[in-house]
Structure 1
Amino acid sequence: MANYRGGRINEEIKKEISNIIMNKMWDPRLKDVMISVTAVEVTKDLKYAKVFVSIFGSEEKTIEALKVIKKSAGFIRKEVSSAVKLRNTPELIFELDNSINRALHIDSLLSKIKEKENHE
């Protein structure tokens, strides 16, 4: 039962953070990249939430966008607290999720191998 509640909280916080980043953050360094919140993992005591974000753009702009998001963690937490009714809003810890980029890289490598095999 507690696992189900944790899953609901994770999804609700994920939805709210996505909405906040898309609609309430006006930093120009976020305009040249596409940001997606891929997962949220809240600790059992609800004190911390690890937020995984995937950022599409050049490597330089990705790093800059992640810095902006990390520096805005307090603002994002405040916005989450007004949208998600919890006794304590977890402290947000943002991490870069490279799984999508790795999957795209592997897919391109597989495509190159397949193309090379077709030419032989």
Structure 2
Amino acid sequence: MADPARARKIADRIKEVIAANLEQVIKDPDLGFVTITDVRVTGDLQHASVFYTVFGDEDQRETTARVLATHQGRLRSLVGRQLGIRLTPTLELIPDALPETASQLNEALRAAKERDAQLAAGRAGARPAGDADPYKKPRDADHAGTDEG
């Protein structure tokens, strides 16, 4: 088991290497606009999960995923040359769900904002159900000394 700090450093280095050299290694016109979002390396440094996003529609994402899978070995060779460690980790290229998650969050925030606006509109002419000031107040000072009863 490798040191977790070393695994993080290797993951960061793999991310930099792939992001900087992706278009030079894969000279395919079908490759979309790819962003490497994260890399996670296992504790034994044998496997690296590379997360990426693709700018474009669903067809562009599928085409890019196919192109990346085809050139996965070339990317691993590049990583091995650049890292200079004894064993090059296997690469698993995983499409990141970040855009879909962000879209869902934006939709939830929009719905919450609409609901807040509806509540504010309903609150505009509302009055309290009981007294205007429902809190008990201490007795007046002039009644404090008298014994009524």
With the length of structure 2 as denominator, give the TM-score of the two structures: 0.69
Q: Percent identity?
A: 28
> Deviating runs (4+, > 6 A) in structure 1?
none
Query: Structure 1: which 5+ runs fail to align?
Result: none
Name the one with the larger helix percent.
Answer: 1
Residue correspondence of structure 1 range 8-87 to structure 2 within 5 A: 8-30=9-31, 33-87=32-86
**Is this contact kept in 1: 2:19–2:36, CA < 8 A?**
yes
State the match for 1:88 in structure 2: 87
For residues 28 and 118 of structure 1, the distance between their equivalents in structure 2, rounded to whole angstroms, comes to 47
> Which one has the largest radius of gyration?
2
Give 1:73's aligned amino acid.
Q
Show CA shifts across 1:79-115 (max 9, x none): 1111111101111111111123311332144235535
Provide the aligned length of Structure 1 versus Structure 2: 118
- Please provide the CA RMSD for this pair: 2.0
Partner of 2:22, secondary structure, is helix
Segments of 5+ residues of structure 2 without an aligned counterpart are: 122-149
1:102 alignment counterpart = 101
Q: Distance in 2 between matches of 1:111 and 1:89?
A: 45
> Does 1 or 2 have the higher relative contact order (CA < 8 Å, sep 6+)?
1
Q: Distance in 2 between matches of 1:38 and 1:96?
A: 9
